[in-house]
Structure 1
Amino acid sequence: MSEQSESDRLKELAEFLRSRRARISPEEAGFADGGRRRTPGLRRSEVAQLSGMSVDWYTWMEQARPIQVSAQVLESLSRALRLDAGERKHLYLLALRQLPADALGGEGVASETLRLFLERQEDMPAVVYDLRLNVVGWNRPACVVYGDYERMTARERNTVWRTFTSPYVRELLRDGWEAQAHRRLAQFRANYAKLAGDPWWKEFVEELGVASPEFREWWPRHDVKEAKEGSKLLYHPVGGPLAFGHLSFQPFDAPDLTVTINLPLEEHDTAAKIRRLLAGG
């Protein structure tokens, strides 16, 4: 990060803190009014007292000085300044350039609005998965291409587990299986760092290491990769070759979820084949 952008970030943090301090009256925070004040809201010393930090340290934050603060300090400030969930995330992003740990849940849930969005994709297979790469939302085109998620167990709906253990997925990908498995595992490893310490991951890695020799061999390599746009060729047992471009994004209000949409390409008449599969033939 450049010196200018770092300076801008600290100034934004300072202004944000001052604005949140100004909106809380002394009475609301349990302090006596103490007569006329030059500026509205709490004094810096009162915020420091409420958050259990030194006056100097808090003052330096409002002066945009380049000091390091911990998540514990930010939690205390969030309570002292009565920040709502969105403001708390904003504070973390400005101070630490990352979201609070509890904003990234391991197991996600697709909202009704998001599920409706998937259904409206018509001939485009689309899924939603969480940080553990569990598929938590899907549409009918996804089911006719990748398998019926409704009938799968929770373990089978995990894309890493299924990539490494499902004969159907291997046949679907054929020569592209190994490259796709490496990409999926690298994405899984990148997400693992966000939730290190969660016992679910240890159990999952141990179980999949037993079930898949490839996973057992590749996991110690520590390859990491974020989801990117691209294309892929699948070999459906009924529809034949299907060519897709794929696009992934995170909903603004659910950063622990990723939406992936497969767009049928002109090759192999993919869109028409998807429509025929949806019609049952």
Structure 2
Amino acid sequence: MATDEQQRKELGSFLRARREKLDRAEYGLPPAGRARTVGLRREEISFLSGVSVTWYTWLEQGRDINPSRQVLDAVATALHLTMAEHDYVLTLAGFAPARPGSVSAVAAAPAHVQRFLDALDEHPAYALAPDWGIAAWNPAYEALYPNVAHTAPEDRNLLWLIFTDPAVRSLLDDWDDTSRRFLAEFRAEAGPRLGDTRYRDLIGRLMDASAEFRERWESHGVGGFESRERVFQHPTLGRLVFEHHQMRPSDQTDVQLVVYTADAETRVRFAARS
């Protein structure tokens, strides 16, 4: 787990990032100095949440304090946080425990998980470790993204591939939106573990390798997963449309399963790929 100091630092950075992006007009507030329309002052969040300026300032500074859940709920309301962002704040403060499971690498998913993926047949599917390393996949997923079988194990990480593999960028019909959403989902899950060596090393590598990752990571986006339509531009099969689902085996909660179910046209085209 991340140390208390690291979690406090992340909590403070997140609160500050959110406060500085708030639209003053949404709060009925006039522009700040020099007609600035974005960003509330700490004093304003203090007033809106009923939390003292000193206490809120200490929160943003990552001071060694113990805010109550009521204080954090009030701040989350004042900042207009989404449910996922609110949960993230509570988790960092120790009120919402991280999802159970190991934070160590999962080199390969358990055999029964691999058999389940293979049984999905024409539906591309893969398994993610807690750090989003790709621990298993089925032939249909390899047909969708062949590089998965040829990437070095240490680089076979979904976040790493999204931001560094040109083949992924060309495959995704909406790379900009998808990369932002995936990063927000990753951060929501990884928040309490950011001090662990494996996470720290992954983020450090990505900060060095991708300016886009660096800019987006520093914006502190947080979001929960939602099943949704995914469109891929396959180099030989053309436009493919799937619905994106995620689940966790009840006996293997440190493994996350991702399954793509095809629409009718894609199912026919994808089935004929061989």
In structure 1, the partner of 2:128 is 129
TM-score (norm 2): 0.61
Computing the radius of gyration over CA atoms, which structure comes out larger, 1 or 2? 1
- SS of 1:132's equivalent? coil
Whether the aligned pair in 2 keeps the contact of 1:106 and 1:256 (CA below 8 Å) is no
Give the superposition deviation at 1:104. Answer: 3.2
Query: Equivalent residues in 2 for 1:189-268 (5 A)?
Result: 189-266=187-264
1:180 is aligned with what amino acid? T
In structure 1, the partner of 2:272 is 276
Give the superposition deviation at 1:116. Answer: 0.4
In 2, Cα distance between equivalents of 1:247 and 1:99: 21
Whether the aligned pair in 1 keeps the contact of 2:98 and 2:189 (CA below 8 Å) is no
Whether the aligned pair in 1 keeps the contact of 2:129 and 2:135 (CA below 8 Å) is yes
In 2, Cα distance between equivalents of 1:256 and 1:194: 15
Q: How many residues align?
A: 180
In 2, Cα distance between equivalents of 1:196 and 1:132: 10
Show CA shifts across 1:106-133 (max 9, x none): 3234111110010011110000001111
In 2, Cα distance between equivalents of 1:99 and 1:210: 27
- SS of 2:156's equivalent? coil
- SS of 1:221's equivalent? coil
Q: Would the alpha carbon gap of residues 235 and 99 (structure 1) be closer, same or farther in structure 2, given more than 3 Å must change?
A: closer
Q: Which moved more, 1:193-202 or 1:155-164?
A: 193-202
Greater relative contact order structure (CA < 8 Å, 6+ sep): 2
Q: Would the alpha carbon gap of residues 99 and 211 (structure 1) be closer, same or farther in structure 2, given more than 3 Å must change?
A: closer
Whether the aligned pair in 1 keeps the contact of 2:126 and 2:259 (CA below 8 Å) is yes
In structure 1, the partner of 2:177 is 179
Whether the aligned pair in 2 keeps the contact of 1:232 and 1:243 (CA below 8 Å) is yes
> Which stretches in structure 2 are left out of the alignment for 5+ residues?
1-94
TM-score (norm 1): 0.60
CA RMSD, Structure 1 to Structure 2 (Å):
2.0
Give the superposition deviation at 1:216. Answer: 0.9
In 1, Cα distance between equivalents of 2:119 and 2:162: 27
Show CA shifts across 1:82-127 (max 9, x none): xxxxxxxxxxxxxx874797x3333234111110010011110000
- SS of 2:189's equivalent? helix
In 2, Cα distance between equivalents of 1:100 and 1:131: 9
Show CA shifts across 1:207-251 (max 9, x none): 111111100111111111222211111100000000000110111
